[in-house]
Structure 1
Amino acid sequence: MDHHIRTFWDKGNGNDLISWSGATINPDHTDYYKPMKLEYDTLGDLAAKEIFANRNFEQAYSYIQQLSRTIITPTDILPDNIKKMMLQMQEIPPWLDHNLIVAGCELSMRSGTNALISLRDYSLMGGYDYAYLNKALVYTGALKKGAAKRITDTLDFWTHVTRNNALEINHDGYQYAFRTRMIHCFSRIMIKEKHPAWDKETWGEPINFADMVATSIGFSLIFLHGLHKLGLDISQKEELGVFHLWKYIGYLLGLPTEYLPNNKKEATEMFYLWTTSQAAADEDSVMLAKALENESLASNIFQKAYQKNFLNYLHTSFVRFLVDKETCERLQISKIRMPYFFPRFRKMRNILYQKLISSSDKNYKRSVYLGNLIQVKISKEYLKAGNSTS
């Protein structure tokens, strides 16, 4: 096991995750993800090849959008693999619990800007510490496209798939999952066809199942741990709801659901095994992290320099608060004065606010309503600022 992994789990955020989740770490199974790194969404790739056959990207993407809005039956005439994939996505799995999906969506919404901070400054930034996970981003041009576009696209996706009823067939979240699955497949096909330098033996297949599980854990376990670090009270039902929500999203994205965790204990144990297959942050990781750190300066959300600089300082503060010291050093996160002042103030405010308001159903629904409003507003502001070309 690499030194950086041992440090993370012995005294970094990994140690916090073990204490918080009650996980039992088993160092004897560190080859668990080795075969999974060679597995990927083969059905999705076959469907993507049919979609992109004799079409340029614009025509193919328009077809993808059309398909994502369409309900089909077994008697419909479509290319075989497109039809097979769509029927699979439309099939509601027997394990799906609508009440847990609602609980996961409502926690995502009611956490408001805390959710966006946890996603950006903990899940996304912390993920850059794993060198192999980042290679698909590098080979698809993420460094050239810039962090503002990735933030915009990720936020746009997240705010659509985590709303109530969004994942029902052909609703907005379902359509986003459909389109994302096809973009994953197209990216993988492109990397394999055009980049012979891709190191399959070391990195696995592009956008493989092991890395997709880790990404799902970033949206569930790491997201929840970030909210916990920011002082939010989370009920057991909400917590289980978030894992259930991302299990279903994973299902729609083509992941075998037996690979996905059901709770924070399982997720932490899986995350540990996955990290043991990863190398520490490399030059690409540092460039991605630096681009994300400076995203506020490059983004068009604010026009004035002092606004951009203050937002940049705030995000660096939250990175320093949420991501452990050793990881920040590997990613070369800037050192700033009083890095914990604003994060600690937010945590204290969250704790006091929760003590002051009653836990009535009316207040809960109000928090969900207001959190949804602000999240959607911020997402639309990013889109309006021209940070996305999708």
Structure 2
Amino acid sequence: MQKLTAVEALKYQGDPLADAVVADLVSGGTTEVVNEVLAHFRDNDQPIPDDLPEPVRRYLVATDAPPDWADLHRVADAYEFFVDDGVHVASVLSFGAMVNCYAQPRPSRVLSLTHRLNQPHRRLSETSQFVLNLMGRDPFGSGGRFVPTIQKTRLIHAAVRYFITRSGEWDVEADGVPLCQQDMLGALLIFSVQVIDGMRRMGIAVTEREAEGYYYVWRVTGALLGIPADAMPETLVEAQALNAQLVEATYGPSPEGVELTRNLLRLYENLVPGKAFDGVVAAMVRQVVTPEVADWLEVPRSRAWGRTVGTGVRVMRLLERSEDRSRAATAVLDKAGSLLLGGSVRTLTNGQSTALTIPSDLREKWLAAGVCPVATPPRGAQGDN
């Protein structure tokens, strides 16, 4: 009970470090300059740009390394899981985790107040890039891109908090701080615990060691995102229990969640050629999330496609148990993730150029396995790590 009380207090906690930077930038009228400079700040080992205001420089220095307790050897162990199943992670995250986020009424309302209900392509593209940067061989070390991605994400969240709390449309006393640390912890559990659960519901075999390693990488990521270390469970079993108490217990219907889900499904359907396969998208979502969540968010039912996806899942489980997973199972399991990641690069920004890239070492291994959705980096991409 004491643990839940401490977690509940996170509802009223923002990110003091990033919040102070945003308040300073807004008061000084320098937000546009900082945005332009940070757009070119991409790599973990890239020197901090000289032409940044001092508060921003101090923030970047203070947030550029994982916590002292982080075991980078455990992080490195998780890389092999990404090599084998990273495309599956992307698929389940897209079909399940994104939708589960929309089952939370409070964060869905935040999205509505930032006018992003009708921009699912941007949210999916940003989330995909965040996860791809996490999948690199050494995401927190030299040569990666993950640390600047996290630092920018914290500033974006701080900006959202700043403007929403001053909009007159949010009651902090009643609803807590928008994008509070409780919301951040909930998102971490959705992207870690629930992705593993979703993969298993899709028939993808994930060992306990792989699941623990995947959660551990997210736990280190959470610390860099500003989530208090003592709020994040140390083990996967504890994380699963907190997920049930903190996240799944808050699920419910909301007009914002329904609209977000409807727009996301429409985006996925546009990635699938022709109209004949539109029903398979909703059926995939219903396979990954619980029936209650799917009903709350008004995910369409399709008896025919539901049976087809269910049969496919049973086939996947049989293939996962078989010794020859290399050809038949790979072709079945990788299609959805490849489509979504490839689609992210080509079309999720409505035809506009996007910086979505796959870490080079991961891309090489996926190419060798024949599952990489993008053979080469997008034109103009530099330092593709």
TM-score (norm 1): 0.77
Q: Quick one: which of 183, 208, 214 aligns to 1:236? A: 208
SS at the partner of 1:166?
A: coil
After the TM superposition, which parts of structure 1 deviate over 6 Å for at least 4 consecutive aligned residues? 369-375, 387-390
Q: Assess, with a 3 A threshold, how the Cα gap between structure 1 residues 384 and 186 changes in structure 2: closer, same or farther.
A: closer
Q: Assess, with a 3 A threshold, how the Cα gap between structure 1 residues 216 and 142 changes in structure 2: closer, same or farther.
A: same
SS at the partner of 2:234?
A: coil
User: Quick one: distance in 1 between partners of 2:53 and 2:97?
Assistant: 38
Q: Assess, with a 3 A threshold, how the Cα gap between structure 1 residues 202 and 336 changes in structure 2: closer, same or farther.
A: farther
Q: Is the 8 A contact 2:37 2:52 kept in 1?
A: no
For 2:59, the aligned partner's letter is: M
More off after superposition, 260-269 vs 166-175: 166-175
Q: Is the 8 A contact 2:110 2:178 kept in 1?
A: yes
Q: Quick one: which of 257, 273, 277 aligns to 1:285? A: 257
Q: Is the 8 A contact 2:108 2:256 kept in 1?
A: yes
Kindly report the root-mean-square deviation, in angstroms, between the aligned alpha carbons of the 2 structures.
3.3
Q: Percent identity?
A: 19
- 2:320 is matched with which residue? 354
Task: Write out aligned runs for 1:12-161 (5 A).
Answer: 31-51=5-25, 54-55=28-29, 58-66=32-40, 69=43, 70-71=46-47, 81-144=55-118, 146-161=119-134
Q: Assess, with a 3 A threshold, how the Cα gap between structure 1 residues 163 and 348 changes in structure 2: closer, same or farther.
A: farther
- 1:320 is matched with which residue? 286
Q: Assess, with a 3 A threshold, how the Cα gap between structure 1 residues 215 and 77 changes in structure 2: closer, same or farther.
A: same
For 2:345, the aligned partner's letter is: K
Q: Assess, with a 3 A threshold, how the Cα gap between structure 1 residues 386 and 65 changes in structure 2: closer, same or farther.
A: same
Q: Quick one: which of 264, 271, 274 aligns to 1:305? A: 274
For 2:288, the aligned partner's letter is: L
Return 5+ residue gaps in structure 1 as ranges: 1-25, 361-368
Is 1:338 aligned with 2:300?
A: no
For 2:292, the aligned partner's letter is: E
- 1:295 is matched with which residue? 267
Q: Is the 8 A contact 1:112 1:375 kept in 2?
A: no
- Following TM superposition, by how much is the alpha carbon of 1:226 offset from its aligned partner in structure 2, in angstroms? 0.6
For 1:191, the aligned partner's letter is: I
Is 1:380 aligned with 2:345?
A: yes
SS at the partner of 1:33?
A: helix
What CA deviation, in whole Å up to 9, does each residue of 1:16-56 have, x standing for no partner? xxxxxxxxxx7x97544331100111111112334555456
Return 5+ residue gaps in structure 2 as ranges: 327-333, 356-385
Q: Assess, with a 3 A threshold, how the Cα gap between structure 1 residues 169 and 323 changes in structure 2: closer, same or farther.
A: same
SS at the partner of 1:142?
A: coil
Q: Is the 8 A contact 1:112 1:370 kept in 2?
A: no
User: Quick one: distance in 2 between partners of 1:244 and 1:44?
Assistant: 24
Size of the alignment, in residue pairs? 346
User: Quick one: distance in 2 between partners of 1:170 and 1:86?
Assistant: 17
SS at the partner of 1:294?
A: helix
Higher RCO (C-alpha under 8 Å, 6+ residues apart) = 1
User: Quick one: distance in 1 between partners of 2:96 and 2:251?
Assistant: 19
Q: Is the 8 A contact 2:181 2:227 kept in 1?
A: yes
User: Quick one: distance in 2 between partners of 1:58 and 1:389?
Assistant: 20
More off after superposition, 34-43 vs 116-125: 116-125
User: Quick one: distance in 1 between partners of 2:51 and 2:194?
Assistant: 42
SS at the partner of 2:164?
A: helix
